């Protein structure tokens, strides 16, 4: 059974002191069986969050990583630098694709660095509003994945076995527009189709929804069997929101586990 995952992306928010306190409060409020929790603070707060989460089952993730292991890249952070601070890493987030012009080939090389240094990657893919309105949402995401896989193979590598994919409908992030559960499920199925064509065990790869997730809206997405959790943005800075999201994920995890056990005992 695929795990239920709730990953918090704090983006460019919190000082180290604030981050440590917030991480501790979230960890205490979200200790729910069956749900993997990941908190991704800014780089400067990684140590504070790692210390705050020590002894808990919540994990620490980075929001990004450089495509090279070292070198003359002022202001950047490499995978070796993250060892001991984080065990997860967001790769290819839509804001980095938009603001830093990150393309699929660069994203693929970041996946390589994650694999080399024990960082479990959350690979973000998704379409813009014009692409959805043109009916090319699935084709856009397919293209992103295929280009990423092609670059990996150019380096004689395949998709990481611990890959997690986050579907981001870019048009629904901070715009007031909302995706529906059926939209996310359709895209999750399209994602797994590409992964299966590439030879990956697609049924074992978690797909998260990441489009302005809130505790009020999460049920619609978790009700879809193909969605395995959420990549949470702004709401992840609020303890009560994270508690609500993780609580709902815990209910779904228990239901899926029960259904699986019922199936296997028949």
CB 111 within 8 A of CB 123: yes
CB 205 within 8 A of CB 164: yes
Q: Which one of 93, 127, 151, 241 is the catalytic residue? A: 93
Inter-CA distances, 27 with 51, 131, 148, 217, 246, Å: 12, 38, 33, 21, 10
Q: What angle in degrees, to the nearest 10, is found between the helix axes of 181-197 and 137-154?
A: 30
Alpha helices per DSSP H over 15-72 = 16-29, 46-53
Q: Which one of 102, 127, 168, 241 is the catalytic residue? A: 168
Residue 151 a catalytic site member: no
Residue 71 — left, alpha, or beta (φ > 0 → left; ψ -120 to 50 → alpha)?
left
Using alpha carbons, select from 152, 164, 256, 247 the residue that is nearest to residue 210.
Answer: 164
Residue 93 a catalytic site member: yes
Q: Show the 3-state SS of 68-115.
A: CCCCCCCCCCCHHHHCCCCCEEEECCHHHHHHCCCCHHHHHHHHHHHH
Which positions are annotated as active-site residues? 93, 168
């Amino acid at each position: 059974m695929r795990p239920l995952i709730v990953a918090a992306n704090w983006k460019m928010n919190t000082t180290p002191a604030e981050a440590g306190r917030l991480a501790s409060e979230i960890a205490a409020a979200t200790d729910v069986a069956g749900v993997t929790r990941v908190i991704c603070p800014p780089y400067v707060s990684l140590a504070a969050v790692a210390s705050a989460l020590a002894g808990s089952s919540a994990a620490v993730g980075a929001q990004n990583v450089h495509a090279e292991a070292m070198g003359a890249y002022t202001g950047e952070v490499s995978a070796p630098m993250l060892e001991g601070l984080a065990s997860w890493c967001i790769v290819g987030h839509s804001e980095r694709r938009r603001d830093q012009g990150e393309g699929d080939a660069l994203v693929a090389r970041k996946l390589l660095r994650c694999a080399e240094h024990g960082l479990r990657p959350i690979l973000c893919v998704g379409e813009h509003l014009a692409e959805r309105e043109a009916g090319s949402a699935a084709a856009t995401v397919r293209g992103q994945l295929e280009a990423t896989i092609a670059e990996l193979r150019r380096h004689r590598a395949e998709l990481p076995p611990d890959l997690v994919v986050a579907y981001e409908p870019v048009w629904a992030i901070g715009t007031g527009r909302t995706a529906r559960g059926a939209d996310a499920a359709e895209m999750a199925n399209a994602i797994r189709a590409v992964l299966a064509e590439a030879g990956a065990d697609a049924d074992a790869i978690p797909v998260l929804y990441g489009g302005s997730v809130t505790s009020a809206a999460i049920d619609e997405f978790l009700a879809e069997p193909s969605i395995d959790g959420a990549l949470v943005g702004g709401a992840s800075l609020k303890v009560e929101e994270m508690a609500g999201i993780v609580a709902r994920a815990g209910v779904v995890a228990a239901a899926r586990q029960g259904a699986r056990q019922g199936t296997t005992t028949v």
